[in-house]
Amino acid sequence: MREEIFRAYNEAKIDDDSIVFFRVNNYYVALFDDAKKVSNELHIPLLTKNIDDSDIIYIVIQEDNLVSVLVRLDRCTEGNYKLIETVEFIL
């Protein structure tokens, strides 16, 4: 599972400034450094989940709040993010 998450994340990541969001049911999830960046910019709490004996750092945004989060991120990051929709990963 951990390798699948890393692979999908790395395939989606455009560059160091981009932020990748994965859709998981009715939520959007940012992982790793993207989660840290969004957490720092928007004061969203970081979460940690142990998967395959490795901690995965992430944040969760409710689907209903996504637009407002993206607007706030746009102001901070100049719109350099990419949305990836998937229901493959259950954190």
pLDDT in tens, 3-31: 888 888 888 887 777 888 888 888 899 99
- For residue 42 the two structure tokens come to 């928007």
| The one-letter amino acid at 51 | I
pTM of model > 0.75: yes
Q: Rounded to whole angstroms, what are the CA distances from 22 to 14, 48, 72, 89? A: 14, 16, 18, 8
21, 61 in Cβ contact below 8 A?
yes
pLDDT in tens, 38-77: 999 889 999 999 988 889 999 999 999 988 988 888 887 6
pLDDT value of residue 86: 59
Q: Rounded to whole angstroms, what are the CA distances from 69 to 3, 42, 48, 55, 66? A: 28, 8, 20, 25, 5
In this model, does residue 90 exceed pLDDT 60?
no
